[in-house]
Amino acid sequence: MLSSKRFGPGPPKPRCTCQVIAANSSVRVSASAPVAAVRARRDAAIATRLEEELAFFVGAQLPTFAFPDYETLPYDRFAPHPDIISQRLRTLARLPTLTRGIVISDLPTALQRTVPRSFVDAHALALRVGQELDLEDLRVRLAAAGYASVPQVGIPGEFAIRGSLFDIFPMGREAPLRLDLFDRQIDSIRSFDPETQRSTDRFEKVELLPAREFSLSAESIKEFRRRFRTRFEGDRVPASLVRLAVGLEDVDDLWADLEQELAAAGSRV
């Protein structure tokens, strides 16, 4: 005969991941320590949903940063999307000084080596209203930081100089910036819509992050050559492989040169 004794309302219903993280984050607020939300698998859709749900549960109480995966395989013939690089650089720039917040990533991405803080600091550029600006010097510095000169900016990592207007889409920002110059002085800094070209917000000063997560200096390329020779056997490092250090944007040229080198090696056998 079954007993009619009641054992209570039963086990508590499990809460969703974002609620658990939000609850843990609320405890960490008083301790002034950031919270890392690390997923076991790579899944961009889940990461985006988690970020949106955390924004709902936590609100403006804690800032939320995403550190996404490149979403490319080692031998893919295309580069990571500029939006992904922009998001990663935005998080990397904030991590050294972050005392309160939530960082969302996955385990494989969190285990990868990242660019040192010194690189981000060395290639960052601060601009303010009233500052004297040498456009040619600025062009050289932006190119060294990985920015591409284009007729009209549309994606992060691009800049355009048209007369007295200087447009740039900085890494880590949601919208490009337009600097209006009066002679060589910055008269105004405004964000604008790249499709309608309409200005939105005004800024007194801005900071531009580098457009890449690696250095293209002569010392870095020399170090890449040395490490490549140490790890892989061969008489020399093909120029096509050195361009791999420049970025995956040149991957089509890389494959073409590799095919030529392999064909030449086969003809010598």
Measured CA to CA, the distance from residue 2 to residue 158 in angstroms comes to 74
What is the rounded average pLDDT of the residues 35-63? Answer: 77
Q: Going from the N-terminus, what domains does the chain have, and what CATH number goes with each?
A: 17-113 (3.40.50.11180), 118-208 (3.30.2060.10), 218-268 (no CATH)
* Tokens found for residue 51: 């970020």
Residue 260's pLDDT is: 60
Range name among 76-80, 106-110, 139-143 with the lowest pLDDT average: 76-80
Percent of the chain's residues with pLDDT above 70 = 72
Instruction: Name the more confident of 123 and 236.
Output: 123
pLDDT of residue 27: 42
Query: Over the stretch 188-217, which tens digit does the pLDDT of each residue have?
Result: 999 999 888 898 899 999 999 998 888 777
CA geometry: angle 153, 147, 200, nearest 5 deg: 40
Cα separations in angstroms, 194 against 104, 133, 188, 244:
28, 23, 18, 31
Q: What is the pLDDT of residue 38?
A: 76
Q: Is 267 helix (H, G, I), strand (E, B) or coil?
A: helix
Using the predicted structure, report yes or no on whether residue 43 has a pLDDT greater than 80: no
Model pTM score: 0.69
131 confidence band (pLDDT: 50, 70, 90): very high
Q: Can you tell me the mean pLDDT for 167-180? A: 93
- The pLDDT-based confidence of 98 (bands split at 50, 70, 90) is confident
Q: Is the pLDDT of residue 12 over 50?
A: no
Dist. CA 102–CA 218, nearest whole Å: 37
Nearest Cα neighbor of 62 from 100, 24, 93 is: 100
Question: Which pLDDT does position 168 carry in this prediction?
Answer: 94
What is the Cα 9 distance to its own chain's centre? 48
Encode 130-184 in three state secondary structure: CCECCHHHHHHHHHHCCCEECCCCCCCCEEEEECCEEEEECECCCCCEEEEEECC
Integer CA distances (angstroms), 82 to 51, 144, 213, in order: 19, 17, 12
Burial zone of 116 (CB within 10 Å; 0-12 exposed, 13-18 middle, 19+ buried): exposed
Residue 158 tokens read as 């691009």
Q: How far apart are CA 3 and CA 169, in angstroms?
A: 70
DSSP states of 16-66? PHHHHHHHHHHHHHHHT--EEEEESS--HHHHHHHHHHHHHHHGGGS-EEE
Compute CA distances 113 → 108, 109, 214, whole Å.
Answer: 10, 9, 11
Predicted local confidence at residue 238, as pLDDT: 53
